[in-house]
């Protein structure tokens, strides 16, 4: 995968020769070679500035991930141009790495397959896991960079021989949930300069420097789902969608849903319940039977979460933890048993199978897992 180059004439990413990795190096005297993942947003733009201000040799890279239609999310053609223009303003090289095939294989296809099975995937987590902090991090090392830098709102704790991910200083923008899979070995070569800043401080700095990304809106949506077409049309072009019957907890028919593959546990809107006055929620999705069970507010809660595919920061955790079940949801008290299953201190809303559950000790990430159902 040859990078496309923007920036200084004659530049070649292979010229950045091999170098070691010292986890205490950034901020110290001397120059490090850093590769900054430039999304075209304000956070990664300021990350590059902060690295440059510390005297490091900075190179920007933008990933070409999705080649289909796009009108929202990150990684659009305009984002590549914004990243390139910021790098020009800072006087640093800019490259584009094409990972479109890998993105299709490791992010888009699993997203489609999950819906086929009645799961609720998080494609941003898969993108971070397989592309940004697997392939890109590996490439950064092979090119001899000391650090891979991103604009994520997280921090890293390094003490007593232990390296863990921490929440960012701006709690409203914290992104530790979507990066829970990062190991200590990964974190040894990663640097998150904006994690110590609030979002308003970053925008103020970008504005002061006249960066074109200073007031750019944030990307919140899935990059490969267009607002015009939506999720249903995207999936319908790739898998067959089947209507489903809605039944209550006694198994009685109460309505219909246009596509069982589009229903997620906890969903209320979009279910045709014939004008039932009380609120009802999807509490179970059975794709094979083309049936969705619905229930009231009491039915949508559960005493715990059945989990699979655990990823730990430094060994399996057990006992009391705080657990987060969505990117910006609250951290709730619970207990991990010896088998890694989560029991809530008080019953909580069911977690849709396929979603990530991330465990914390204070603001440090202990690890995470994927919801596979609820405990009874």
CATH number at residue 252: 2.30.30.280
Is 74 assigned a catalytic role? no
In a domain, 217, yes or no: no
Name the average pLDDT for the chain: 89
What is the spatial distance between Cα 45 and Cα 83, in angstroms, rounded to a whole number? 7
pLDDT higher than threshold 70 for residue 4? no
Domain final position from 209, 229, 253: 209
Residues 37-60 have a mean pLDDT of: 96
154 and 262 part of one domain: no
**Per-residue pLDDT tens digits for 213-251:** 999 888 767 888 888 888 999 999 999 999 999 999 999
The predicted structure's pLDDT at residue 272 = 76
pLDDT higher than threshold 90 for residue 24? no
Domain final position from 262, 278, 295: 295
Is 51 assigned a catalytic role? no
In a domain, 341, yes or no: yes
What is the spatial distance between Cα 311 and Cα 131, in angstroms, rounded to a whole number? 17
The predicted structure's pLDDT at residue 160 = 82
Residue 341 belongs to domain spanning: 301-375
Domain final position from 187, 209, 231: 209
Determine which one of 51, 74, 87, 223 is catalytic. 223
44 and 138 part of one domain: yes
In a domain, 220, yes or no: no
């Amino acid at each position: 995968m040859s990078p496309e180059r923007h920036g200084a004439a004659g530049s070649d990413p292979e010229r950045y020769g091999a170098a070691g990795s010292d986890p205490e190096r950034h901020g110290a005297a001397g120059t490090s070679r850093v590769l900054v993942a430039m999304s075209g947003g304000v956070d990664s733009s300021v990350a590059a500035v902060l690295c440059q201000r510390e005297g490091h040799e900075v190179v920007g890279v933008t990933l070409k991930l999705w080649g289909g239609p796009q009108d929202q999310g990150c990684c659009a053609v305009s984002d590549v141009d914004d990243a390139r223009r910021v790098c020009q303003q800072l006087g640093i090289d800019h490259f584009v790495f094409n990972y479109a095939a890998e993105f299709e294989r490791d992010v888009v296809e699993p997203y489609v397959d999950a819906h086929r099975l009645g799961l609720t995937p998080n494609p941003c987590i898969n993108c971070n896991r397989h592309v940004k902090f697997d392939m890109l991090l590996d490439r950064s090392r092979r090119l001899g960079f000391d650090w891979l830098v991103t604009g994520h709102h997280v921090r890293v704790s390094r003490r007593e021989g232990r390296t863990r991910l921490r929440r960012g200083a701006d709690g409203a923008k914290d992104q530790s949930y979507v990066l829970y899979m990062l190991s200590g070995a990964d974190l040894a070569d990663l640097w998150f300069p904006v994690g110590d800043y609030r979002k308003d401080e970053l925008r103020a700095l970008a504005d002061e420097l006249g960066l074109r990304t200073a007031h750019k809106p944030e990307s919140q949506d899935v990059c490969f789902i267009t607002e015009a077409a939506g999720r249903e049309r995207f999936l319908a072009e790739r898998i067959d969608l089947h209507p489903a019957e809605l039944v209550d907890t006694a198994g009685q028919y109460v309505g219909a849903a246009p596509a069982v593959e589009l229903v997620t546990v906890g969903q209320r809107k979009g279910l045709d319940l014939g004008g039932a006055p009380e609120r009802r929620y999807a509490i179970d999705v059975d794709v094979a039977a083309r049936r969705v069970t619905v229930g009231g507010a009491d039915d949508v809660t559960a005493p715990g979460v059945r989990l699979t595919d655990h990823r730990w920061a430094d060994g399996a955790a057990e006992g009391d933890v705080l657990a987060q079940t969505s990117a910006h949801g609250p951290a709730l008290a619970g207990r991990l048993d010896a088998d890694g299953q989560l029991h809530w201190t008080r019953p909580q809303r069911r977690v849709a199978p396929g979603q990530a559950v991330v465990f914390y000790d204070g603001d440090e990430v202990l690890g995470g897992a994927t919801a596979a159902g609820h405990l009874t």
